[in-house]
Chains A and B, each alone.
Chain A
């Protein structure tokens, strides 16, 4: 790492501040892994403690969960394309693909809210049982992260429209792309350990 500006390589890594911020964000993601692991552990321990509330296998539907998964996987892909466009120096490409990403993310959140309302109608709420408490806290924390990510990305889009591609704005976009891919990683484990196992067991 050097303090002077590099002449080659991705824009977001050219100044030391960018390198340090990206490093710091990886450390934050390491802490996020541990945060989610505590919620996963709680969920795993409380699995089956449904009391009088409906069983997960009665409520989970493969169709809508698969659609949510595909929405989020596709948004992770389009987010990767947005960074690819950014590194090619295309501001327009970056903004276009980021808007696609956000649209897919909003679709995911919309479906998740619909799911939660459906579960609540069937008698599974945060208060129904230990199992459903841990379910809503785990899935809800992920949903909250996605929602925050959407708000964050909208603010960054406004900034990039005003200031263009600089080492600072490209670093900020690179960091939100890491955040977005990370949320996809977390969802893969939610999809597998909550929905798939919940439908099987």
Chain B
């Protein structure tokens, strides 16, 4: 690849432009679009994951032939991501679902409605 000999770092510029586009897209989806709250949260979280991938692969040299690819401990990074997902999703699941701490919050009511629907379907 010999990326380090090139005068213009194409990969970095592409990554930078992509990250700006994704940020603007997420801001637009959240603030200007007519999507429902559920779809806004889903879509902007997906955009964030894509953007994190851009940082890891286009800026952080996670894959490159010059360094023989052997210096990123993929298994440990994967371990870290899985633990993070379990901690966040698990905490939300055990601490929030079905509980009724604060009736003023619309998203809580939304969750409650879902719970009621689940119960009534049994």
Contact = CB atoms under 8 A, between A and B. Distances in A.
Given A23-B73, A26-B76, A84-B9, A44 B107 contact: no
Given A1-B70, A192-B47, A193-B45, A44 B91 contact: yes
A29 B87 contact: no
Given A45-B91, A80-B12, A33 B81 contact: yes
A132 to B, nearest CB: 14
B14 to A, nearest CB: 11
A200 B77 contact: no
B72 to A, nearest CB: 5
B37 interface: yes
A188 B28 CA distance: 15
A178 interface: yes
Interface in B63-112: 66-68, 70-73, 76-77, 79-81, 83-85, 87-88, 90-92, 95-96, 101-102, 105-108
A77 B16 contact: yes
Interface stretch (A34-42, A102-110, A113-121, A152-160): A34-42
B76 A27 contact: yes
A41 B76 contact: no
A152 to B, nearest CB: 17
Contacts of B31: 62, 196, 199-200
A69 interface: yes
Contacts of B76: 26-27, 30
A185 to B, nearest CB: 5
Nearest to A13: B67
Interface of B: 3-5, 7, 9, 12-13, 15-16, 19-20, 23, 26-27, 30-31, 37, 40-41, 44-45, 47-48, 51-52, 55-56, 58-61, 66-68, 70-73, 76-77, 79-81, 83-85, 87-88, 90-92, 95-96, 101-102, 105-108
